[in-house]
C-alpha cells in the first residue's frame, strides 16, 4: 500500500535512484537525453541541478512563478527561496580551493545581538516604569552603604510583563532573528559554496510540500517559545538577574542532554521500520536547504519541538531568559546543519570544547546523513559526542583532511 508520505512527495526508492545514477556516462558528464534550456516536467533545466541522467527529486516550480500569481501560502514559502546559484550544479572546472575556516566570534556577536533584544527591552521597562515599591526602595537606599543592593531590588519590584505581552515580544524577536539568519546563511552559502555542488545542486522546495513548509515555519516560530513560557516564565524575574557565570556551563550540558535524547529518538527512527514512518518525510530531501529543516511529519514536530527540549530542561536547571537565549542558539545550529555550506564552521557552544576530544559536529556530518537517506548515520545534531561514543559516525568527505579535525 502506498503511504501518505510517498503520495505527497512522489518518493523514489534508493534502488531507483542508484539505477538513475548508473545511466550517467563513465566520465561523469551529463546524460545527453537531458533537455537543456527548457522547462521539462516542471523543472527549469536552464540551470542544471544534477549529473544524474534524470532528476529523481519531486517536482519544484515555485521559483518559476511570478510573486503576484502565487497563493498566500506560496508567498510565505517564497520569502524563503534561495538564489538560483545556490541550487545550480557547478561545473567540474570550479575550484574553490581548500575548505575555508569560518570565524566563530562574529557568530556569537550575531546570535547574542538578536537573542538579547527582547530581554533588553524587558529590562528597560523595569527601569523606566518601576513600581511604587521600587521607588520607595530607591529613596531609602540611595545614600546608604548598601547602595549596591538597590538595583536588584528595583529590578525585581518594577513593572512586570504579563505572560501574553512577554510572549508577543519574544516571538516577534524570534521571528526577526529567523529572517536575519536566513539572509546570513544565504550570503555565506554563495561565498563559500556548498557541499557536493559538483554532483548535485541543493534541493528546491517540492510543489506538494509548499503549504506544509509555509504553515510549518509559522507554527515553528509561534510554538518554539511556547513551551519555555509555559514551564519557566516568571513575571517577577528580572532578565539581568537571570544570567550568571554558570550560564555557559549549563548551556553546554543542556545541549549535550538535548543531543542525547535527540540521538536516541533519531537513531531509533532510522533503525526500526515502524518509527521510520514518522521520520521519512524529513528525508525526502537529500541536499537540504534551511527551510527544508522543518519538512517533517506532525508527530516528528511534536517530538523535536516539544518532548526532546522538555527532557533536557527537566534534567538541566535553567531560568526562562537563559532558556530563551539558548533556544536561539539551538535554532541557529539546526538551520546551519541544513545549509550545506562548504566551510569548517564550528558550532558556537559545543564546538570548541568537544573539538579537543574529536566530538565536534561539522556541517558536512548532517549533510551526509541526509545524503544516505534511511541508511544515513551521524544522528546527532548539536554535537558528535554520542555518535562517537556509540560508533555511528561516517567518514567525512570534503572535510576529511582538515587540521585538528577527526576524519571520520
Where residue 41 falls among pLDDT bands split at 50, 70, 90? very low
46 lies in a domain?
no
pLDDT at 47: 53
Domain of 282 in residue numbering reads as 105-128+161-390
For 322-337, how does the pLDDT look when each residue is reduced to its tens digit (9 = 90+)? 999 999 999 999 999 9
Q: Is pLDDT of 137 > 60?
A: no
Residues 6+ apart with CB under 8 A from 46: 36, 37, 38
Give the range among 128-132, 141-145, 290-294, 338-342 with minimum mean pLDDT.
141-145
Cβ(265)–Cβ(386) below 8 Å: no
Residues 6+ apart with CB under 8 A from 124: none
144 lies in a domain?
no
For 163-202, how does the pLDDT look when each residue is reduced to its tens digit (9 = 90+)? 889 999 999 999 999 999 999 999 999 999 999 999 999 9
C-alpha–C-alpha distance, residues 257 and 264, integer Å: 11
43 lies in a domain?
no
Cβ(299)–Cβ(219) below 8 Å: no
Mean pLDDT of all residues belonging to the chain: 83
372 lies in a domain?
yes
Q: Is pLDDT of 12 > 70?
A: no
C-alpha–C-alpha distance, residues 16 and 403, integer Å: 38
63 lies in a domain?
no
For 60-114, how does the pLDDT look when each residue is reduced to its tens digit (9 = 90+)? 999 999 999 999 999 999 999 999 999 999 998 999 999 999 999 999 999 999 9
pLDDT at 131: 59
194 lies in a domain?
yes
Q: What percent of the chain has pLDDT over 90?
A: 65
Cell numbers placing 151: 538595583
24 lies in a domain?
no
Buried residues in 74-88 as b, exposed as e (16+ CB within 10 A): bebbbebbbeebbbb
Q: Length of the chain, please? A: 408
Cβ(6)–Cβ(207) below 8 Å: no
For the chain, the domain total comes to 1
pLDDT at 289: 96
For 338-394, how does the pLDDT look when each residue is reduced to its tens digit (9 = 90+)? 999 999 999 999 999 999 999 999 999 999 999 999 999 999 999 999 999 999 999
60 lies in a domain?
no
What does the pLDDT average to over 121-150?
56
> Which region holds residue 260: left if phi is over 0, alpha if psi is between -120 and 50, else beta?
alpha
Amino acid at each position: 500500500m502506498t503511504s501518505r508520505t510517498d503520495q505527497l512527495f512522489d518518493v523514489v526508492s534508493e534502488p531507483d535512484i542508484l539505477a538513475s545514477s548508473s545511466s550517467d556516462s563513465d566520465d561523469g558528464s551529463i546524460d545527453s537525453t537531458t533537455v537543456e534550456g527548457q522547462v521539462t516536467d516542471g523543472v527549469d533545466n536552464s540551470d542544471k541541478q544534477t549529473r544524474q541522467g534524470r532528476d529523481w527529486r519531486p517536482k519544484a516550480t515555485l521559483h518559476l512563478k511570478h510573486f503576484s500569481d502565487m497563493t498566500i501560502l506560496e508567498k510565505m514559502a517564497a520569502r524563503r527561496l534561495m538564489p538560483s546559484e545556490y541550487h545550480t550544479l557547478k561545473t567540474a572546472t570550479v575550484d574553490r580551493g581548500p575548505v575555508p575556516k569560518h570565524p566563530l566570534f562574529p557568530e556569537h556577536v550575531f546570535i547574542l545581538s538578536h537573542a538579547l533584544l527582547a530581554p533588553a527591552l524587558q529590562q528597560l521597562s523595569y527601569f523606566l516604569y518601576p513600581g511604587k515599591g521600587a521607588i520607595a526602595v530607591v529613596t531609602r537606599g540611595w545614600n546608604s552603604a548598601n547602595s549596591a543592593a538597590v538595583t536588584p531590588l528595583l529590578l525585581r519590584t518594577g513593572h512586570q510583563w504579563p505572560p501574553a505581552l512577554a510572549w508577543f515580544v519574544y516571538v516577534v524577536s524570534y521571528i526577526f532573528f529567523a529572517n536575519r539568519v536566513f539572509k546570513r546563511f544565504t550570503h555565506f552559502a554563495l561565498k563559500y559554496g556548498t557541499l557536493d555542488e559538483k554532483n548535485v545542486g541543493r534541493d528546491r522546495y517540492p510543489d506538494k510540500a509548499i503549504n506544509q513548509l509555509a504553515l510549518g515555519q509559522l507554527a515553528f516560530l509561534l510554538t518554539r517559545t511556547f513551551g519555555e513560557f509555559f514551564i519557566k516564565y516568571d513575571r517577577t524575574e528580572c532578565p539581568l538577574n537571570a544570567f550568571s557565570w554558570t550560564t555557559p556551563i549549563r548551556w553546554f550540558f543542556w545541549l549535550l542532554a538535548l543531543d542525547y535524547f535527540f540521538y536516541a529518538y533519531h537513531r531509533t527512527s532510522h533503525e526500526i521500520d515502524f518509527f521510520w514512518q514518522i521520520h521519512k518525510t524529513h528525508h525526502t530531501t537529500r541536499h537540504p536547504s534551511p527551510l527544508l529543516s522543518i519538512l517533517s511529519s506532525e508527530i516528528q514536530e511534536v517530538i523535536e519541538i516539544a518532548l526532546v527540549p522538555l527532557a533536557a530542561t527537566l534534567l538541566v536547571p535553567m531560568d526562562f531568559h537563559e532558556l530563551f537565549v539558548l533556544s536561539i542558539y539551538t535554532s541557529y545550529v539546526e538551520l546551519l546543519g541544513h545549509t550545506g555550506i562548504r566551510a569548517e564552521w564550528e558550532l558556537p557552544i559545543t564546538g570548541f570544547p568537544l573539538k579537543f576530544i574529536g566530538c565536534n559536529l561539522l556541517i558536512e556530518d548532517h549533510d551526509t546523513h541526509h545524503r544516505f537517506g534511511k541508511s544515513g548515520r551521524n544522528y546527532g545534531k548539536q554535537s558528535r559526542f554520542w555518535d562517537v561514543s556509540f560508533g555511528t559516525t561516517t567518514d567525512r568527505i570534503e572535510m576529511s583532511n582538515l587540521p585538528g579535525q577527526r576524519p571520520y
